[in-house]
Amino acid sequence: MSVRLIDSLATTQPLAELFSDQSVLQAMLDFEVALARAEARKGVIPDAAADAIAASATAGNFDTISLAHASLRAGTPAIPLVNALTVHVRKTNPDAARFVHWGATSQDVADTAMSLLLRRAKKIVVEDLLKLEQALLRLADRHEKTVMLGRTLLQPAPPVTFGLKAAGWLGAVRRGKHDLGHAFHAAAVLQFGGASGTLASLGDQGIATVEALSQELGFEKPPAAPWHTQRDRVARLICACGVLTGSLGKMARDISLLMQHEVGEAAEPGGDGRGGSSTMPHKHNPTACSLTLAAAHRVPGLVASFLSAMVQEHERAAGGSQAEWPIIAGVVQSTGLAIASMAEVAEGISIDGLRMKDNIDRTNGVIFAERAMMLLGAKVGRDVAHTILETATKKSVTEGRHLAAVLAEMPEVTAHLKAAELKGLEIPEQYLGSAEAFQKALIAESSHLESDWKNPTQIKEQ
């Protein structure tokens, strides 16, 4: 399946495949097959009925367009699917047809199918998350001592290192990955409660069937009870996606700004039609960053929509659950696209260390006004020093001269600061404070979180 044109900037090929009609349909059918097999194991329905249902439950046997049209009339895709599956089973085994969907309700099908899709989605996104994480770790290590302008409110500030900046992105990604791992694990669980969430139709075999069904579908264990109108597990996943996508959007914003021609300190990888313009051949656009920023714009609204849909009445909601499928699919695909896009950027980004130093030099040293103020403040007090440096920086900017040179002409400065102190004032490597320590701490702090993705069975449901 190809990505739909209208979704081409909102998903990846693997996630588009995952949420395709055929994939969603097969997930629903997989629930019906697992239900029949579990019930046969417990003697609820005949083995022959389970075999007949399994033989018919292949997505290719059904017309997704007709099912979609019928879903709009039924208010759920489960009803037309169950009807169609029953008709198909009846063709080969009329007796088995009456056991299709035995004891289940529509939301059992829809929610468990989504759980199966989310379990598969986790495997897709983790691959790109690990790529992104490793690429950021390499960037942080490689550029541990690469000095660049700090920027506050988009204006030049005292220097930082690109290694620290990359470590900051890495820390946010690892924290987001940790939360996402927990959330995926909690959300991908069985839903099976029958009409009112009591499984009354199965008599004394309800709990046993739940356990058998959970095993059939490969879930670790069933939840304590059906969760038809308790949507907190999925909500945590949606919120975790929102936070991680926001963190990736911050990274994308930083890099796209560093790519501006006037800045020129970083560049996305190009080639293969990436980053071009339909009218300006010279352009190298921040395409992957733009896709990530688009996701970061799109996801918060979807998160809010899901949270508002959590207010579901009694044992089955009117409108709440019906709102969820497109929201969940949109959030997971947008998050996956943001992860994949930034992994591509991090793996191929070009960093211009010389341009970074040049941009520092072009400030004529005014970014070191804080340093000068602290040196002078130790002698005359911070408030007096601040006033002196305001005057000096204005003169530096107006005359286009280096701050150190201006300060060297001011008696109120030279009376307290030696010529050697002023001479070394504008060396960025000497005013990085704890940048290296912070960079290393960020890497160390978040490194233990990796195990949650590599060993998902160790994650306990919250």
Q: What is the DSSP string of 8-52?
A: TTS--HHHHHHTSHHHHHHHHHHHHHHHHHHHHHTTSS-HHHHHH
Give CB contacts under 8 A, 24+ apart, made by 30-34. 30/57, 30/113, 30/116, 30/217, 31/104, 31/108, 31/109, 31/112, 31/113, 31/116, 31/217, 32/57, 32/82, 32/85, 32/100, 32/101, 32/104, 32/109, 33/57, 34/213, 34/216, 34/217
Query: Please, what is the Cα angle at 151 between 150 and 156, to 5 degrees?
Result: 90
CB burial string 316-352: b at 16+ within 10 A, e below: bbeebbeebbebbbbbbbbbbbbbbbbbbbbeebebb
Catalytic residues: 277, 316
- Name the DSSP class of 160: E
- DSSP of 332-358: HHHHHHHHHHHHHHHHH-EE-HHHHHH
- Contact status, residue 286 vs residue 349, Cβ threshold 8 Å: no
Torsion over CA: 276, 293, 336, 136 (sign): positive
* CA–CA distance, 197 with 133 (Å, rounded to integer): 42
Burial class (CB in 10 A: 0-12, 13-18, 19+), 383: exposed
Angle at the Cα of 229 from the Cα atoms of 194 and 223, rounded to 5 degrees: 65
224 vs 204: CA distance, rounded Å:
17
d(CA 251, CA 373): 32
Rg (Cα) of the chain, in Å, rounded? 30
